[in-house]
Structure 1
Amino acid sequence: MKIIIAGAGAVGTHLAKLLSREKQDIILIDDNEEKLSALGSNFDLMTVCASPSSISGLKEVGASEADLFIAVTPDESRNMTACMIASNLGAKKTVARIDNYEYLLPKNKEFFQKLGVDSLIYPEMLAAKEIVSSMRMSWIRQWWEFCGGALILIGTKMRESAEILNISLQQLGSGNNPYHIVAIKRGNETIIPRGSDVIKLHDIVYFTTTRKYIPYIRKIAGKEDYADVRNVMIMGGGRIAVRTAQYVPDYMQVKIVEQDVNRCNRLTELLDDKVMIINGDGRDLDLLTEEGLKNTEAFVALTGNSETNILACLAAKRMGVSKTVAEVENIDYIGMAESLDIGTVINKKMIAAGHIYQMMLDADVSNVKSLTFANADVAEFTVKADSKITRHHVKDLGLPKGTTIGGLIRDGVGIVVTGDTLIHAGDHVVVFCLSMMIKKIEKFFN
C-alpha cells in the first residue's frame, strides 16, 4: 500500500514510524529539511523535502498512485489544499487534519468529499472526548463505548482492595461472568490473557462489559469508595481545554487555570459563564489550594509541556485529588507517567494515529483505538456475510496469539463472548490485539 504523509510534525512523524513497521510503502514530505533528516535513516520510509501544497511537489512523490494521502501539517487550510490536489492527481483516499469543529458536521461531509477530502480528523477534539470519558468515573483509567454504549471497555488499576487478585482467569470465568478481561498491562509488558493468566497487584486490567454490570466491575476491582467527579480543575487553557470544558456533563463544575491574561480573555468569550477562568500559574500550589483543589475530584493538566503536566498531576495526587489526567505528548514519558501512578494519560498523536490507521484496512472497521498505557489496539469490525469469522465457534477460529474477541453487539444489544459463541453476519465484533496486529485479524472479517 502506498501511503503519503504530508507534514513531519508530531502527528505525522508518529504515524510514519507506526506505519513503517507495517512494511507499507511510506513517503513523508515536508518543506522543513531539518524535521525530515532526523527520521529517514532510522525508519523504513522515504523522506522528500517538498511543499505539501505544491502540485509539482505532489507529482514528484507520486500522489497519483497513492492508496492513502494523509495531510497532518499544523495548518488546516494547507491540509485541505494538499488533499484536494492529491485527489485531483489521482490519490484513492485522502485525510486532512483540521481544527474547525464546524467542518465535522454531517451536513458538510458530502461537500468536502466532492472537493476531494474523504476524511477529516480533529486530534484535539478526539483528545477532549477521551478526557471527558475518563472523568465520568473517578476509578477508571480508560473508558470506551462501542455502538453507542451497547458494549463498554473499562481500564482500571488493581489495588490491594481488588477481589480478583491472584486468581486465574479460568477460575474467574467459571461462573459465566458478565465481563471479559481483554488485556492486562503489567510493568512494561502487555498481555492479551489466556485462561492460565493471573491478575496481580498494580496491573491495569481492561474489561469489556455492558452498562448494566459497571457497578459489578467497580465492586470486584475494589473501587466502591472512590468519589464521583463533580468538580474539575484544568491547568492550561489551550484548544483541548476548551473542548473538554464544552463536553463535560452539566453536573460537573469546571475551573480553568491559565497563565496568559490574553488567553484568559479569549476563554471567557469561547466558554459559557458556568466555566470559571482563573488567571494564574497552575504550578503554584498555594493558588490551587486557594481555588479549592482539595475539594476537587478531578485535576486535568493540559499545558504544552509533558513534564509540567506529569509533575502537576503528581502534586494534585499528593493533595488528595482522586482523579488526575495528564496530556503527555512525549511518547517516551508515557511509561514514566504510569510508573508515577499519574492516572489517565492522553496523547493526541496516538489517538489520531488510531483513527487514521482504520482507513488502511479493507474490512468494515468503524473504530480503531490504541490503549494509551498498553501496547495494544482495539478495533470494532462489522461482520460481512460468509466471512471466515462466521464459520466456527470462537474457540475453533484459530485466532492468532496475542488477539482476543472482547464482545459483540447484535441488534443493538451488547454480548460478552465465550468460546462457544457463534458470530453472525451483521454483528459488530470488538477485537483486542497487541499493537500492529490488526492486519492479521482483518482476513477473518473479509
Structure 2
Amino acid sequence: MKIIIAGAGAVGTHLAKLLSRDDQDCTLIDEDDDRLAGLDGEYDIMTLQASPTSIKALREAGAQNADLFVGVTPDESRNMNACIIAHAMGAKKTVARIDNYEYLAPNLESFFNELGIDSLIYPEVLAAIDINNGLKMSWVRQRWDVHGGALVMLGVKLHEMCEILNRPLRELCGPDDPYHIVAIKRGSETIIPGGNDELRNLDMAFFMTTREYIPYIRKIAGKEHYADVKNVIVMGGGKTAVRVALTVPDYMNVKIIEMSEERCERLNTLLSTCDTMVIHGDGRDISLLEDEGIRNTQAFVAVTDNAETNILACLTAKRLGVRKTIAMVENLDYVSMAEELDIGTIINKKTIAASHIYQMMLDAEVNNMRSLMMLDSDVAEFTAAPGSPVTKKPVKALGLPFGMNIGGLVRHGEGMLVNGNSQIEAGDTVMVFCHEQNMKKMEKYFKTSSLW
C-alpha cells in the first residue's frame, strides 16, 4: 500500500514506525526539517519537507496514487484541507486529526465523507475512553472490550494474594475454564504462554474472559479488597480532562485541579452540564490534596502536558493511599520508567491515535485495534469473512505463526472463549493478540480466499 502522512509530530512519527515494520510504501511530509531529520534512516520511509496543503508537494509525494492519506499536524484546519485536496487528487481513503468535538457528531459523518474526509480522529476523546474504562475497574491496569463487553481482556498486576500463582497454566486454563491467559509481562519480557508456563508474583497477566466471569477473575487474582471507584481527582484541566468529566459514569464524583485561574473559569463553562468540581491549585500540593479528600479518594488521574509531573503526582497519590492511579505519559522514553515505578495505568494519546489509524490500512475487516505499549504487542478485533481461511479449519489446525494468539470471539452478540477445537464461523468477531510486526501477517486468515 502507498501511504502518505502529513505531520511529523508524535502521532505521525509513531504511525510511521507502525507502517515501516510492515514494509509499506510510506511518505512523511512536514514543513519542519528538524522534525524529519533522521527519520528516513531510522524507519523504512521517505520524507518530504513541504507544506501538507501544497498541491505540488502532494503530487510529488504521490497523493494521486495513495491508498491512505493521513493528516496529523497540530493544526486541525490544515489536516482537513490536506485530506480534501488529497482526496480530490485521487487518494482512496483519508483521515484527519481534529480537536473540535462537534465534528464527531454521527449526523456529520456523511457531510465529511462528501468533502473527502473518510475518518476523523480526536486523540483526547480516545484517551478519555481508556481512562474511564480504567476507572470502572479499580483493580485492573488495562481493559479491552470486544463488542461492548461481550468479551473482555483484563490486564491485572498479580501479587502474593493471587490464588493461581506457581501452577502450570494447563491446570488452570482448560477448554471448560472461564478464562484464558493470553499474555504475561514479566519484567521487560513478554511471554505468549503455553501449558507449562506459570504465573508468578508481580507478573502482569492478561486474562481473556466473558462479562459474567469478571467477578470470578477478580477473586482468583486476589483483588476483592480493592474498593470500587466512587471519588476521582483529576490533575490538569486540558481537553482530555474535560472529556473524562463529561463521560465518566454518573455514580462517580469528579474533582479537577488546575493551576491556571483562567482555565478554571473556562472549565466551569465547559462542565456546566455535569456535576464536576473545579479547583484552582497545584495537584502536587499535598496539603491541597488532603483538604480535597485524597484519603477518601479511590482514583487519581494525572493528565497535564508534563509526563514527569504526572508520574510524580501519581506516586504521591499512591503514598497517600490511593489505589488506582492513571498517568498520561506522552514521552515514550518514560513509559518503561513509569512501569518500573508501578504507577498503574499509563495512557499515551499518540499510540492510541496511531493504532486507530493503522487499522484503516488492513485489508481484512478490523473493528478495533490497539498497540499495547507495555507488551510491545497489538490486539485487534477481526471479522471473519465468508470463505476466509480461519473459517475452514479448527483453530489448532490453522498453523498460526509463533507469537499470535486467538483469545476469544463474539457470535450473535455472545462472547465465548476459543480453544484448539473451536471452529470460527463467517461473521464472528475474533479477538487476535500478537507481537508487533505480525498483525499484517494475521489479516490473511480473515480475508476471503480461494487458495485454502
How far residue 175 of structure 1 moved from its aligned partner, in angstroms, is 6.8
Name the CA distance, whole Å, in 1 between partners of 2:392 and 2:198.
31
How far residue 42 of structure 1 moved from its aligned partner, in angstroms, is 2.2
What does residue range 75-114 of structure 1 map to in structure 2 within 5 Å?
Answer: 75-114=75-114
Helix, strand or coil for the counterpart of 1:148?
A: coil
Contact 1:409 1:428 in 2 (8 A): yes
Name the CA distance, whole Å, in 2 between partners of 1:352 and 1:397.
31
Q: Does 1:181 align with 2:153?
A: no
Residue 250 (structure 2) aligns with: 250
Partner amino acid, structure 1, of 2:407: G
Name the CA distance, whole Å, in 1 between partners of 2:38 and 2:388.
43
Measured against aligned partners, the alpha-carbon deviations of 1:246-298 in whole angstroms (never above 9, x if no partner) come to 11101100000000000000000000351010101111111111111111000
Measured against aligned partners, the alpha-carbon deviations of 1:103-146 in whole angstroms (never above 9, x if no partner) come to 12221111111111011111110000100001101100011211
Contact 1:64 1:91 in 2 (8 A): yes
Helix, strand or coil for the counterpart of 2:173?
A: helix
Normalised by the size of structure 1, how large is the TM-score? Answer: 0.98
Contact 1:346 1:372 in 2 (8 A): no
Partner amino acid, structure 2, of 1:335: S
What does residue range 150-229 of structure 1 map to in structure 2 within 5 Å?
Answer: 150-174=150-174, 176-229=176-229
Residue 358 (structure 1) aligns with: 359
How far residue 21 of structure 1 moved from its aligned partner, in angstroms, is 2.0
Partner amino acid, structure 2, of 1:426: G
Name the CA distance, whole Å, in 1 between partners of 2:67 and 2:175.
48
Partner amino acid, structure 2, of 1:298: A
How far residue 43 of structure 1 moved from its aligned partner, in angstroms, is 2.1
Measured against aligned partners, the alpha-carbon deviations of 1:390-422 in whole angstroms (never above 9, x if no partner) come to 111111111111011110011110011111111
Q: Which stretch shows the higher mean deviation, 50-59 or 409-418?
A: 50-59
Contact 1:255 1:278 in 2 (8 A): yes
Q: Which stretch shows the higher mean deviation, 80-89 or 51-60?
A: 51-60
Size of the aligned set, in residue pairs, is 446
Name the CA distance, whole Å, in 2 between partners of 1:185 and 1:334.
14
Name the CA distance, whole Å, in 2 between partners of 1:427 and 1:11.
31
Residue 9 (structure 2) aligns with: 9
How far residue 93 of structure 1 moved from its aligned partner, in angstroms, is 0.9
1:38 and 1:294, CA in 2 relative to 1: closer, same or farther beyond 3 A?
A: farther
What does residue range 285-434 of structure 1 map to in structure 2 within 5 Å?
Answer: 285-434=286-435
Name the CA distance, whole Å, in 1 between partners of 2:132 and 2:405.
27
Q: Which stretch shows the higher mean deviation, 98-107 or 397-406?
A: 98-107
Helix, strand or coil for the counterpart of 1:176?
A: coil
Residue 62 (structure 1) aligns with: 62
Task: Give the fraction of aligned pairs with identical amino acids, expressed as a percent.
Answer: 62
Q: CA RMSD in A?
A: 1.1
How far residue 436 of structure 1 moved from its aligned partner, in angstroms, is 2.5
Partner amino acid, structure 1, of 2:116: G
Name the CA distance, whole Å, in 1 between partners of 2:17 and 2:410.
33
Q: Which stretch shows the higher mean deviation, 305-314 or 188-197?
A: 188-197
1:289 and 1:111, CA in 2 relative to 1: closer, same or farther beyond 3 A?
A: same
Residue 131 (structure 1) aligns with: 131
How far residue 219 of structure 1 moved from its aligned partner, in angstroms, is 0.5
Contact 2:18 2:358 in 1 (8 A): no
Residue 442 (structure 1) aligns with: 443
Name the CA distance, whole Å, in 2 between partners of 1:203 and 1:370.
19
Misfit runs of 4+, over 6 Å: none
Name the CA distance, whole Å, in 2 between partners of 1:196 and 1:24.
37
What does residue range 266-277 of structure 1 map to in structure 2 within 5 Å?
Answer: 266-272=266-272, 274-277=275-278
Helix, strand or coil for the counterpart of 1:164?
A: coil
Contact 1:152 1:209 in 2 (8 A): yes
Contact 2:151 2:409 in 1 (8 A): yes
Name the CA distance, whole Å, in 1 between partners of 2:19 and 2:336.
22
Contact 1:345 1:373 in 2 (8 A): no
Helix, strand or coil for the counterpart of 2:409?
A: strand
Helix, strand or coil for the counterpart of 2:375?
A: coil
Residue 450 (structure 2) aligns with: none
Q: Point out where structure 2 has 5 or more consecutive residues left out of the alignment.
A: 448-452
Q: Point out where structure 1 has 5 or more consecutive residues left out of the alignment.
A: none
Name the CA distance, whole Å, in 1 between partners of 2:38 and 2:231.
43
Normalised by the size of structure 2, how large is the TM-score? Answer: 0.97
Measured against aligned partners, the alpha-carbon deviations of 1:73-112 in whole angstroms (never above 9, x if no partner) come to 1111111100000000111111100112221222111111
Helix, strand or coil for the counterpart of 1:356?
A: helix
Name the CA distance, whole Å, in 2 between partners of 1:319 and 1:274.
25
Partner amino acid, structure 1, of 2:308: E
